[in-house]
Amino acid sequence: MHRSFPPRHSRRRLLLGFTASFVLAGQFAHAVTITEKSSTEWDVTTDTLSFALNPTNSNISNLEVTLNGVKTNWLDTSYGDSPFGHAVGFYPLNGYSGATKTGATTAGYHLNGYLDMWITKADIPGSDPLEVENHFVVRDGDPGIHFYQVLRHFSGDGATGFGNAAINFFCSSNAISQSNGTTLLYQVNTGPNNIGVDEQTFPTTAYTTGLVASNPGRQVQAETVDYTKSALGNYLSEAGLAREFITKYNYSTYQQYHLAHGYVGANNAFWWVVPSPETMIGGPTKQFLSGIELEYASAHLGGSNINFTAGQVANRLLGPFYLHLNAFNSTNTTAASLYNDAVNSIPGCLSFYDSEGILLSNGYRARSNRGSVVANIAGSKWSTSSSNNIIVLSDNNTYMQESSAGFQYWGYANEGNVTIPDVMPGTYRLTAYSLGTWGLYHIDNVVVGTTTTTVNGTFNERKFSSQSPIWTIGTPDRSAHEFMNGHLSNGFDNRDYLAIGNYWQELESNSGKLVYTIGSSTVNDWPFTQYNNFYPNLYAGVYGGSTSGINGYDYITPSYVISGAAAEGKTPAQFSPPAWEIHFTTTAAQMAQGGYVLVSINLAANDTSSLQLRLNGKHKGSLLWYPRLDSDPEERSGVAGYNNYAVFQFNTADLLPAGQTNILTLFASGASMYDALKLEIGSQPADPSISGWPEYDWVYYNSSDASTTQAAASP
């Protein structure tokens, strides 16, 4: 989405190196002040906080905040590293896919009842084709700092992308430590199956230094350490986990549920607040890291980079986001009350943004200058729970999970009806889906102005037969949650590094082959992910106390992996398990339903994988599907990523006679995470031009037994 924005050099900027020092407070009747102490330090004060901003690199230091009459230095470097071991500081980390930012740095500010400061890294059209500008905003009576970012791409700039961006608050351990040396991560509603409070306790760096020095655990992959049998592992506390890993991916959340997350100490707490997710990417199912940082753009767990084509003129706003600081007092006595205090700041933030002049000049719009969308989507398969029925506005002509250019909004529909307020004017795709129902509905070119736009439509469940499916496995809820190792005993999504070690042991009785028999097997017999290779580092084994070696198979490896690999002259790390099988029978009446066997597969994610199906050994190598986009939640403590949907088509003649056992074989070339599967028999092929449903890939074979795939026209 392109939006108008100020000309390239129309706003006041201060070239770095301006050495004059002055205080603007004397020119205005308010207490917010800024002093240009040097070319690398601007000192800022309000009635509640003070800090130093480095206008050459956007880093903030020496943040002192007075809460309940007590002053705390949140970035006191004398206490060493932050709880996650990073250098103490408050700064953005930008995932810029072009060259390292080498353009000229300029900075400026605006002071008029609030202070908006910006640091700009200019583009270099030939080598560094993107201008990136970071804004920090403070005001009196506000115990926190607002942050937003502006990306500018000009007509002379080449193609580039921007992704994996986060704003980080690596505060001192002492600022959020409790008396026993721990700190508490507090979140609410971290996923569709994890509704409620999520509290995770872990030791701070100051506490763990000695423990890690004596027993450092074992690195099993990037940023993932196994502490199961170490003193540190015994001290970690996260409800429901059978093993103890430190991995940043455990600290994540879904955009559609996230309002704030934070860390709570003995006296103070800080919170990352998202007043609106409208400038984030990937739709409501996008997951992002929610640890010490706020990750506001990434291609992990679904989603894509923010991309710019050569010569494109565009202004992309990210944020504002809000770092809110608070402390226990006579009113707020629990972590829950501090969380509520942070969440309750959102209406005040939005009101402030409506009149923040610099923000408005960078593409933001006051709510009085926005519109609303009323969606009336008819259909017979809407859930009785409105929380399962989601209506999304995102980039026009783009799948919502790939949406990254413009704004995004969503609401929860009562039988398909919902009003989405405060929508930025523009042109959108409207997508409607219901957890538990196959497929989705979408309509493009929804034009939103400053009044109300009404959208009418009909969402029909994706069925390829007039009769009930022959069988189904799982629930089409865009998650592998219900399968083996996908959930805990309390029903929550499993974030215990996803029990990947158990996967190989649980298939040991059949030498790694899954045989799922319709009528007797259950969803808990179906692993959450199908792997093609034994990954020793992911498997990890049970930590044995030794610090030598990093491969899990050095500790515990199922015997079938060792013998199977040896039989092929391979190491365990090269072992490839057998294909999976689904066994089922049909009746004569079912076989008479039509000439086509239609297998629908929804993948919650796939990792660099193709998926091949055979029915009773026929058409070997022919029905081969390459899903649209890769994602890897199986390595990132998740049970959902980029959703892919395909329908595989066989002939009814490929079935064995009624009553005999058919075998459907599935072979994944990488890692396929299943959401749901179903088999139908119908009289029409699954050709999207016949069904009228454009969001699935159609995989079939022609008369020469060669594979043919018609990719989804517009998922």
Tens digit of pLDDT for each residue in 258-294? 999 999 999 999 999 999 999 999 999 999 888 888 9
Q: How far apart are CA 160 and CA 63, in angstroms?
A: 35
Q: How far apart are CA 436 and CA 557, in angstroms?
A: 37
Last residue of a domain, one of 320, 337, 361: 361
- pLDDT-derived band of residue 500, with 50, 70 and 90 as boundaries? low
In the block, which residue shows the tokens 């005001």? 139
Question: Do 352 and 322 touch, CB atoms closer than 8 A?
Answer: no
Instruction: For residue 355, tell me if it sits in a domain.
Output: yes
- From the CB of residue 521, how many other CB atoms can be counted at a distance below 10 Å? 15
Q: What's the rounded mean pLDDT across residues 177-182?
A: 83
> How many domains does the structure of the chain reveal?
3
Q: How far apart are CA 327 and CA 329, in angstroms?
A: 6
- The partner residues of 226 in beta bridges, in order of sequence, read 218, 245
* Per-residue pLDDT at 681 exceeds 50: yes
Q: How far apart are CA 451 and CA 457, in angstroms?
A: 20
Positive or negative, the CA dihedral 403, 646, 602, 467 is positive
Q: What are phi and psi for residue 584, nearest 5 degrees?
A: -160, 160
Question: Do 255 and 286 touch, CB atoms closer than 8 A?
Answer: yes
281 shares its domain with 407: no
Torsion (CA) 390, 679, 687, 580 in degrees, nearest 10: 100
Q: How far apart are CA 115 and CA 112, in angstroms?
A: 7
Task: Say what percent of the chain tops pLDDT 90.
Answer: 62
Structural tokens at position 414: 């009562």
CATH code of 415's domain: 2.60.40.1120
Contacts of 372 (CB under 8 A, 6+ apart): 419, 420, 421, 422, 423, 448, 451, 452, 453
Last residue of a domain, one of 336, 361, 386: 361
* Per-residue pLDDT at 20 exceeds 70: no
Q: Is 498 helix (H, G, I), strand (E, B) or coil?
A: helix
In the block, which residue shows the tokens 């969503």? 410
54 shares its domain with 144: yes
The pLDDT value recorded for residue 442 is 97
- From the CB of residue 538, how many other CB atoms can be counted at a distance below 10 Å? 21
Q: Is 105 helix (H, G, I), strand (E, B) or coil?
A: strand
Rounded alpha-carbon distances, angstroms, from residue 636 to 119, 148, 243, 246, 639: 33, 27, 15, 12, 9
Q: How far apart are CA 391 and CA 397, in angstroms?
A: 16
Q: Encode pLDDT of 50-109 as tens digits.
A: 999 999 989 999 999 999 999 999 998 876 666 656 678 888 866 554 446 778 999 999
422 shares its domain with 475: no
Instruction: For residue 519, tell me if it sits in a domain.
Output: no
Instruction: For residue 403, tell me if it sits in a domain.
Output: yes
The burial class, CB within 10 Å (0-12 / 13-18 / 19+), for 690 is exposed
Instruction: For residue 303, tell me if it sits in a domain.
Output: yes
Q: Which is more confidently placed, 243 or 393?
A: 393
Q: How far apart are CA 240 and CA 229, in angstroms?
A: 17
Structural tokens at position 353: 């943004």
Contacts of 293 (CB under 8 A, 6+ apart): 93, 166, 167, 168, 169, 272
- pLDDT-derived band of residue 470, with 50, 70 and 90 as boundaries? very high
Q: Which is more confidently placed, 279 or 380?
A: 279
Q: What's the rounded mean pLDDT across residues 226-247?
A: 61
332 shares its domain with 262: yes
636 shares its domain with 697: yes
448 shares its domain with 586: no
Q: Which domain range does residue 591 map to?
A: 471-485+579-710
Task: Say what percent of the chain tops pLDDT 70.
Answer: 83
Is-cis flag, bond preceding 627, omega within 30? no
Last residue of a domain, one of 309, 342, 361: 361
The pLDDT value recorded for residue 6 is 32
pTM of this prediction? 0.91
303 shares its domain with 438: no
- From the CB of residue 327, how many other CB atoms can be counted at a distance below 10 Å? 21
- pLDDT-derived band of residue 562, with 50, 70 and 90 as boundaries? confident
Give the mean pLDDT of the chain.
86
Q: How far apart are CA 170 and CA 521, in angstroms?
A: 48
Instruction: For residue 315, tell me if it sits in a domain.
Output: yes
374 shares its domain with 418: yes
